[in-house]
Structure 1
């Protein structure tokens, strides 16, 4: 497919701005970051550049190049290396999530690394890759865990809103959950965690016949009976489990699990370094590989009813 002319123009502007910055800041590197590196842009998109220097420098002002705004963020190599350290391994456990809190606050920076493409000579990097495969895989795990945490928070809100009879408010959160779920699926498929507006394009990656794919709608909820009977929520449970199985596949034999107690509204799966668990609010219930397979199968069955 021929790239859109506004995409090609922005790539040329990025290269021109990078060359100018390299002259202004001797020895610095300039990386193109964000959605543009994934081939995503519209006719009003800005160009985002990362200027990496040995010592901290004042943030260069945004500039217009051929009428296109170029935003520049200046960071030191020390900062970039600190981001890289967070991608050395997926370390979060159920008993110690302090690192996860740190990673979540820096996830936008880590996404810059995941999308970065060097525009100036970088002798220690492959021409089109800033992160090696191992760190890219770790980014994928952190990003998916982040979306699972966000989904769990929204599910807790939904339960509270439904119990309070605030159904119009719950409808809004339900729509938001549909987008978070779609983000989880695109991250599991290898996409960076970009803004929601890019979901139709990210969901179409790997589907040669589709340029865009709509964010799947969730089943019509029945808030008045949600706490006691919520088959509509099972779709969320099964899809989130499937996204996690992409990164943590299991062929363990199914094992019994309390489907009635752990399959109700609000329970969602997650995987940390120490294994699987289900979460609802502040409650966390560890499951074995065999139990999570049984739980996921039951969720898929409920979703079909």
Structure 2
């Protein structure tokens, strides 16, 4: 990321402020860990960025204290205090990617706690006194990646359902707005598949960039110009969304299965998007689900790529 390779002055200032605040909090709350979390922990900041800290208090000290934001040198420091038990509960959600088509309760819980899980994913210890060897194991980080990608695929499917309804109602200006939003969700899915945490959309130009970009940022890739009158057919403009999400998913769930025959009639049209749960692949369009084997998923991906080139 560009900020990491060429630290800006406001980034360096905030990192120093974070270290100072962490030392003060560690003195005020004996036995607590203090972690820098969020975008700043990923070396991303702007000239008015706040500093986000997580204070992890020992369970035997009772409930975590209520803390107010503080200012240091004009920089706002937001501190969230949680107990070790709460952090343990968050970690437990990252022990396994446990969602099936018949049981999505855990997925609902994870989606509701995704901001907290992202804090764990980005956490950089500044004051570290507990026996925990690391914030997350490599396996837990990989599980976070799968949950975050599944979340973005769910968000994309919801937007696709809106697009279908808006287009069928002739509300094309409204559909254009949702189409632009879908472009950002697809880009987020790609950055998550590449290993980045699920941060706010404003950071996408940095997350999409590489250290080789030498100070240049990568704009969010646009989607093809939509043709809303063709949403009932095998829409080439929508196929680009299908291909990019399929590629992101296959980056985390690769397969060398041989392609299998697939009756694509009705499964390649506008609105159908891929998803991967622990019990396998499926396509989703609104409330409709179509399970796929690994081989049929490869066939569907190939067909979507062909449509996108049409």
When the two structures are superposed, what TM-score results if normalisation uses the length of structure 2?
A: 0.95
Corresponding position: 1:110 with 2:117? yes
| Residues 112-138 of structure 1 deviation map (CA, whole Å, 9 limit, x = unaligned) | 000001101335345xx5111000000
Change (3 A) 1:229 1:296: closer
1:63 is matched with which residue? 70
Given that 2:31 and 2:129 are in contact with CA atoms closer than 8 Å, whether structure 1 keeps it comes out as no
Give the superposition deviation at 1:90: 0.3
Question: Number of paired residues?
Answer: 303
Mapped pair 1:4 → 2:8:
yes
Residue equivalent to 1:137 = 142
Q: Distance in 1 between matches of 2:219 and 2:63?
A: 43
1:53 maps to which residue? Answer: 57
Equivalents in 2 of 1:16, 1:97: separation in Å? 42
* Structure 1 counterpart of 2:80: 73
- 3-state DSSP of counterpart to 1:253: coil
Which residue in the other structure is 1:259 paired with?
264
- Identify the match of residue 48 of structure 2 among 34, 44, 59: 44
**2:141 aligned with 1:159, yes or no?**
no
Is 1:24 the counterpart of 2:19? The answer is: no
Q: Decide whether aligned partners of structure 1 residues 171 and 189 sit closer, same or farther in structure 2, where only a CA change above 3 A counts.
A: same
Asked whether the 8 Å contact 1:33–1:116 carries over to 2, the reply is yes
**Within the alignment, does 1:180 sit opposite 2:185 as a pair?**
yes
2:18 to 3, 14, 17: 14
After TM superposition, give the deviation of residue 207 of structure 1 in Å. 4.4
Q: Return the TM-score normalized by structure 1.
A: 0.97
Give the 3-state SS of the residue equivalent to 2:7 in structure 1. Answer: coil
Deviation at 1:176, TM superposition (A): 0.3
> Which structure exhibits the higher relative contact order, with contacts defined as CA atoms closer than 8 Å and separated by 6 or more residues?
2
Task: State the distance in 1 between where 2:207 and 2:72 align.
Answer: 28
Contact 2:234 2:307 in 1 (8 A): no
Q: Give the whole-Å Cα distance in 1 for the aligned partners of 2:300 and 2:234.
A: 17
The answer on whether the counterparts of 1:59 and 1:72 sit within 8 Å (CA) in structure 2 is no
Residues 236-251 of structure 1: pairs in structure 2 closer than 5 A: 236-251=241-256
Q: Where in structure 1 are there 5+ consecutive unaligned residues?
A: none
Determine whether 1:204 maps to 2:209.
yes
Q: Is the 8 A contact 1:56 1:74 kept in 2?
A: no
CA–CA distance in structure 2, aligned partners of residues 20 and 36 of structure 1: 19
Q: Is the 8 A contact 1:278 1:286 kept in 2?
A: yes
For 1:27 and 1:304, the matched residues in 2 are separated by 59
Q: Is structure 2 residue 308 aligned with structure 1 residue 298?
A: no
Deviation at 1:175, TM superposition (A): 0.3
- Partner of residue 82, structure 1: 89
